[in-house]
Structure 1
Amino acid sequence: MTSASGVAYVIGTFDTKGAELGYVADLIRAAGVPVRTVDLSTLGGGGPADVAAREVAAAHPGGVDAVFTGDRGSAVTAMAAAFERYLTSRDDVGGALGLGGSGGTALITPALRALPVGVPKLMVSTVAGGDVTGYVGASDIAMLHSVTDVAGLNRISRRVLGNAAHALAGMLTHPVPSAADKPAVALTMFGVTTPCVTAVAEQLTNRYDPLVFHAVGTGGRAMEKLVDDGQISAVLDITTTEICDLIAGGVFSAGPERLDAIARTGVPYVGSCGALDMVNFGAPDTVPARYADRLFYQHNPQVTLMRTNREECQRIGEFLAGKLNACAGPVRFLLPEGGVSLLDAPSQPFHDPSADQALFATLERSVTQTADRRLIRLPHNINDPRFADALVAAFSEVTEVSR
């Protein structure tokens, strides 16, 4: 039998789900994987686990008393914070499996999200059949719908929980071979910037491992989580379009924290204005009424694009400038005067040089330029091969500076 890579953490509230957690732990052990069970019970009682709830609670900055308040809501919130600190302090986590209903899922998943991408993490949950965005975030948590409630062992729950146990055991006994022979570089892409990103990635592939992220909100968040995790050596943020959706209320926002990981880590950064000409909505009938008189393009039946106007471009530029000014690492930000997407070119529906110039002028006025933080104007469309070449040249500069 293949030896396991690390310990399997089996997590839940043993006061109410002890039988189910014990069943899962036994199956994982039977597969030859070491297990550590962790109790997160918050209202007393608890159950037989390797790590008692009080031990987890002690990891809270306020100590045990901050967790065991007697109020379920505040206790769950505090225990979630304590467990995140506990789990991320361990150096033996091979993988983790949590069981829970809505409360247990909210209790366990913050700690799972904090684990590095690539560490196996599963959550068997009653809420996994719905929108799990808030639980998964930018991480790689595998959510498995429990089908029946996690409230006893029966012919359905035994099969579902058994599948989860064997899935984690398989992940830990069959680790993925490492391909980390080249440093990883992150690139952000949209359909309307694909020619540029593809050309850049092709030029880098001999020296780097290009990781391309689709700039649909989750893509930007995932990219920045990997930056925070130390798994990205440099960033080519060619497609910053998620900021448009933040500013104008579109559906693909990555949130107000976009670019914060770049500032925190000082990772070498090359950015551009990819797809800053568009805000994304769903089908046409989902577009807010306040935008009725705007210019739209139907990308597909489920995606409606709205052209950003001058005022929005100025606000986007101000947001970007604030983030770039906070970056301590080397920064180059390239401005494509010939258009920021395939749709923003002569004869194309979103071609609007006035709006683009409002964006560029705001950036030039608001970014504090230094030897290590520079804006570069180029007379090309973002998908022109010459623009791709300029991005690669800027990338060589910032990676050389950081050595």
Structure 2
Amino acid sequence: MTTVALLGTLDTKADDYAWLAEQLHALGTDVLVIDTGSFSKSPMATVDSDAVIKAAGADAAGLRERRDRGEMMAVMGRGAAVIVRELADAGKIQGVLAIGGSGGSSVAAPAMQALPVGFPKVLVSTMASGDVSPYVGEVDMTLMYSVVDVAGINSVSSQVLGNAVAAISAMAQAFQTRLETASVDHKPLVAITMFGVTTPAADEARARFVSLGYEVLVFHATGSGGRAMEKLVESGLLAGVCDLTTTELADDLVGGVLSAGPHRLEMAGSVGLPQVVSLGALDMVNFGPQDTVPEKFAGRNLLVHNPSVTLMRTTGEEMQQLGLSIGRKLASATGPTEVFIPLAGVSAVDVDGAPFRDAEADSLLFAALRGELEGSNVTIHELDMAINDTGFGAAMADALHAAIVAR
């Protein structure tokens, strides 16, 4: 029998969760109830609210005395994330289901984002018809719009919630079956980051990985792509990372629209995963249509990539800052790390005769990177070619393969 964790505020929605539990039991699915209600003392809870608060490292009495709703929601979200991850890792649950409005969704979302990709997670929310990126994050959450408020079972909510129950029950069973029947001979997974202006290098690396017996996942470096790739690293699903295109760091530094956040390029190093890294598309910052480029960048070297995308060339100072930042991140890596420097250009538009060619700016990037990596355990490869020249992508793939095999 599979077990689904019901995650919710039992101080306000106990009747709704009792109905969900009853429906899951009718489908042959066991239930474990985690109470995230700030003041709940429900006998229905398998894991009570005090335990959730403790898992977050907070004091229940003090938290309740302050009666700060924002603080309570944050604490409950952190605690629930710890608990569901522990339960999932121990094989005690095979799925998570939560229902709620903005408050309940804000608590359930961190818990679901803490779970690995592939683990079943369903959230029924009143917020699902708007911008859902804060709730989904980089995981494969199934998000359903509740249509009516989550406030009792009625003829409409019973249909919506009934579908959610059926979905999580079937997902949990399928997940458990996959675990029981998974082949030990599956191909190892590697990830590649790419952009339109680094596609030839990514394609060459992908072909080499396939020939070496890997399954390859390619991530478009658009902010969400980089975050999704690093979530898979955290989930423990990858054998290695070919981080060929680190352009999202330029957007984060300068203020472009495709930032993956300040912690991009840190996850593989923190978990000790083999990684090979290059400087793909660091010559550019991304914006939308040309009229959306901030006024402060007037006079900068702009390139209209298509009607929806305008690229801006990074300056020498910005490239130097990127070299310092990347060097610091890689120098702190705990696993095998190698960096590949394409001396003749970091993108398709940063080669001789192309609109973003700026050898002086590139040299500042390279010099700053070398300086930060001096004395570290990171291996530096300087290739007298542009990133998309034949052989560059394959060289990165060969290096990652050697690092994976040597572990």
CA distance in 2, matches of 1:327, 1:84: 26
Is the partner of 2:192 in helix, strand or coil? strand
CA deviation after TM superposition for structure 1 residue 70, in Å: 4.9
Q: Do the aligned partners of 2:193 and 2:219 also contact (CA within 8 Å) in 1?
A: yes
TM-score w.r.t. length of structure 2: 0.91
Picking from 331, 343, 362, the partner of 1:337 is: 343
Picking from 80, 83, 91, the partner of 2:80 is: 83
Q: Which of 37-46 and 165-174 deviates more?
A: 37-46
Partner of 2:206: 201
CA deviation after TM superposition for structure 1 residue 208, in Å: 1.5
Q: Identity across aligned pairs (percent)?
A: 41
CA deviation after TM superposition for structure 1 residue 399, in Å: 2.6
1:307 aligns with 2:304: no
CA distance 1:330–1:50, change in 2 (3 Å): closer
Which amino acid in the other structure matches residue 152 of structure 1?
Answer: G
Q: Which of 377-386 and 154-163 deviates more?
A: 154-163
Equivalent runs, 1:230-379 vs 2, <5 Å: 230-370=236-376, 372-379=377-384
Partner of 1:7: 3
Q: Do the aligned partners of 2:94 and 2:173 also contact (CA within 8 Å) in 1?
A: no
Unpaired runs of 5+ residues, structure 2, are none
Q: Do the aligned partners of 1:60 and 1:67 also contact (CA within 8 Å) in 2?
A: no
Partner of 1:218: 224
Equivalent runs, 1:32-47 vs 2, <5 Å: 32-44=28-40, 46=42
CA deviation after TM superposition for structure 1 residue 41, in Å: 1.1
CA deviation after TM superposition for structure 1 residue 239, in Å: 0.4
Partner of 2:141: 141
CA distance in 2, matches of 1:279, 1:373: 27
TM-score w.r.t. length of structure 1: 0.92
Partner of 2:24: 28
CA distance in 2, matches of 1:179, 1:285: 52
1:192 aligns with 2:197: yes
Q: Quote the RMSD (CA, aligned, Å).
A: 2.0
Q: Do the aligned partners of 1:279 and 1:307 also contact (CA within 8 Å) in 2?
A: yes
CA distance 1:18–1:289, change in 2 (3 Å): same
Which amino acid in the other structure matches residue 80 of structure 1?
Answer: G
Q: Do the aligned partners of 1:60 and 1:66 also contact (CA within 8 Å) in 2?
A: no
Partner of 2:129: 129
Q: Deviations over 1:11-54 (max 9, x none)?
A: 11122222322232222222222122222111346463333323
Q: Deviations over 1:216-257 (max 9, x none)?
A: 112212222222222111111000011000110011111111
CA deviation after TM superposition for structure 1 residue 398, in Å: 2.6
State the aligned residue count.
397
CA deviation after TM superposition for structure 1 residue 179, in Å: 6.5
Is the partner of 1:116 in helix, strand or coil? coil
CA distance in 2, matches of 1:217, 1:76: 27
CA deviation after TM superposition for structure 1 residue 289, in Å: 0.8
Is the partner of 1:69 in helix, strand or coil? helix
CA distance in 2, matches of 1:207, 1:77: 44
Unpaired runs of 5+ residues, structure 1, are none
CA distance in 2, matches of 1:369, 1:392: 25
Partner of 1:105: 105
CA distance 1:233–1:69, change in 2 (3 Å): farther
